[in-house]
Amino acid sequence: MRHWPRPVVVALDVVNRRGKAVGVRLVRYTGKSPHFIHPKHLVETPGHDWYATHLAAGDLVLDVGCANGAHTLKAAARVKRVIGMDYDVRQLRVAAATARRCGLGNLHLFAWDLVRPFPFAGDAFDAVLFLDVIEHLEARQAVLGEIRRVLRPGGRLLVSGPNRESRWRERLRGAGLFAYQDEDHKIEYSSAEFLDELEAAGFVVDGALEPVVYDTPWAGLIDVVGGFSLTLYARLARWKRERALAEPRESTGFRALARKPA
């Protein structure tokens, strides 16, 4: 890996980390959404809604850590019923408002601390979404255990987590900088560690891990672009997806379809 001067890495890191928040604010200030929301949720890009192909029309789905409901609503358009839960009441209000605007009546949203036992009977759900949440938790095995409990035998867990082994993460570590993708992350994984986490909770991973998007130091700037032009953002998002498929080790993270043993 070619050496980059530390000041260059520091400057790119600042742009990368601040750009996401700027992009979220610009989306609202420029009238692209009535809410503060990431531009990735406003465009159709290949692979973004990867979990949807693993859902069936008759499914009862639980979205654990649903946040603003972007994935909850996508799932609701395909399945019988979706229940979304998250600790952040402000984000849940955004999800509820969007659901009303879209006329979706087959979902229920409520506030819940994810580290508490889930308020559902065992074997209740056909599928669980657990997307970009696991890295924010300390009690990961406990939460995965609750997910396994409420899934029916053979039920599907659609889960994603961050990759710590891309070149950009290595450059940050080499410069002595904080290398996690988010300051709130409690963990980031190698591909082997991510599989171990899921298997330790009693899940069987179905097939290979799937990459997400390319981990570029320009991601924050791309998010800012999304605040001004969704068309250009969608083009850049497709480029990031194509690069990740070509170089899976350079992906921002992993996606997995896992199952509760029948």
For 230-242, the pLDDT digits (tens) are 999 999 999 999 9
pLDDT on residue 44: 87
Q: Across residues 32-56, what is the average pLDDT? A: 92
Confidence of residue 46 (pLDDT cuts 50, 70, 90): confident
Burial class (CB in 10 A: 0-12, 13-18, 19+), 1: exposed
E-strand ranges in the chain read: 60-64, 81-86, 107-111, 125-131, 151-162, 204-205, 210-211, 253-259
Checking if the pLDDT of 1 tops 80, the result is no
Using a pLDDT cut of 70, give the percent of the chain over it.
100
pLDDT on residue 103: 92
Tokens 């979404």 belong to residue: 129
Tokens 């654990």 belong to residue: 64
| Residues 124-182: tens digit of each pLDDT | 999 999 999 999 999 999 999 999 999 999 999 999 999 999 999 999 999 999 999 99
Buried b (16+ CB within 10 A) or exposed e, 139-161: ebeebbebbbbbbeeebbbbbbb
Mean residue pLDDT of the chain comes to: 96
